[in-house]
Amino acid sequence: MVFRLSMGNRFQRVELTMKDGKYVAGYKPSIAGVGTIAAIYDEHSFSDSRDLLVEIADFCVIGAIGMRGLRVTVGNDFLGPVEESRQHNFGEVQRVNPEQPAAHLVKIINEEYILGGAANVASNISSLGANCCLYGTLGEDSYKNEIKRLCNEKKIILRDFLKDGPTIIKQRVIAHGQQIVRLDFGENNLKKMGESIENQIITSLEKEMEEYDFIILSDYNKSFFSKSLSETVINMANSKNINSLVDPKPCNLEFFKGCTVVCPNRYEAEKITGIKYSNEWEILKKMGEVIFEKIGANCIIITCGEDGVFIYDKYNQNSSFIEAQVREIADVTGAGDTFAAVLSLGLSSKLDIYDSSKLANYAAGIVVKKVGTATLNINELRSSIKK
């Protein structure tokens, strides 16, 4: 069994052999400056496949990062509505509302802002130790500065462009661990992004594209993506042999023809294909075939909630299903963002689509146990896999 592990923009060959009932990984470092990390894993034993996956996960995120004091090349470009921020108001319900008994009266205890939309994908990448560059538009308001502050704190490189309209805010009121209500701001009169801003984004990407190993296009149907912008970005990536992942909204699917991986959830897959969802193999395979016919991606991944993940790999003529790893669900907000982020890190570190999806499945299972939009760290991922 042989793996090629990403070390910056180079690779190491790792051979796994069976010895006394255990997998043993061994390799000799050939890149100056990686001896310390290499020594940790040289002749490292894996007691079973779960431990093996843990160590692969380390290499995907930590191993590819801590080697040298240079900019990490597991960099990802995230295109999408950066302008979305999520405000969480935490409080408690103490008594009946005298103005309207049917409405909750919540005493607010504290507030927090969390990155949302494509910025949540970037936040997940950052929390796992990788660098990322985030593209999107912001409104000319106070929330713009809040988003910039949060990106700076998380060491996310932000390429923001000024749009004609307010920043999108999703405000959640949470009491006793439960969401009471969600208020959405800034979506009443969404305007399409102008040609001038599209050209600025494309010009910037043309200068930086070769610095990235993977491109994620996160579509939330907030008037950010147009057919021309999407096609230009994907064609640019393909011309430089850079893989791309699209998390689409069904109405915009055909904007993203030619991407490497498309990753709808089961409800989006129903809308795209017109096929009623079921976790039966033949139904899922037919969904994959229809989506492939529409968009031509090498691989279609359908996230199936509590059922798991279905992989339709047209490139290798293979399909598989991974069962969900979670039994407790507190909040599904942002789980798709986490899945896309970890899947992309796995693929950009040269894991195959199955192992990358398995890692992403574990990661999504962690964040749904948390209230509100959440991220995870490598220690949580490691612990989840070992259980």
Domain spans of the chain, in order of start: 2-47, 76-82+117-167+190-386
337 catalytic? Reply is yes
Nearest CA among 126, 96, 107 for reference residue 338: 126
CATH 3.30.530.20 assigned to 76-82+117-167+190-386: no
Higher per-residue pLDDT: 222 or 34: 222
Q: Which comes out higher in pLDDT, residue 72 or 7?
A: 7
DSSP codes of every residue in 37-101 = HHHHHTTEEESSHHHHHHHHHHIIIIITTTTSSS--S--EEEES-TT-EEEEEEEEEEEE-SS-T
pTM of the model as a whole? 0.76
Catalytic one among 219, 313, 331, 337? Answer: 337
Percent of the chain whose pLDDT exceeds 90: 27
Selection from 84-93, 194-203, 263-272 with the highest mean pLDDT: 263-272
User: Considering only 11-25, 78-92, 115-129, 310-324, which range has the smallest mean pLDDT?
Assistant: 11-25
281 against 181, higher pLDDT: 281
Can you state the angle between helices 266-273 and 281-295, rounded to 10 degrees?
60
Instruction: For residues 35 and 68, give the distance between their C-alpha atoms in angstroms, rounded to a whole number.
Output: 11
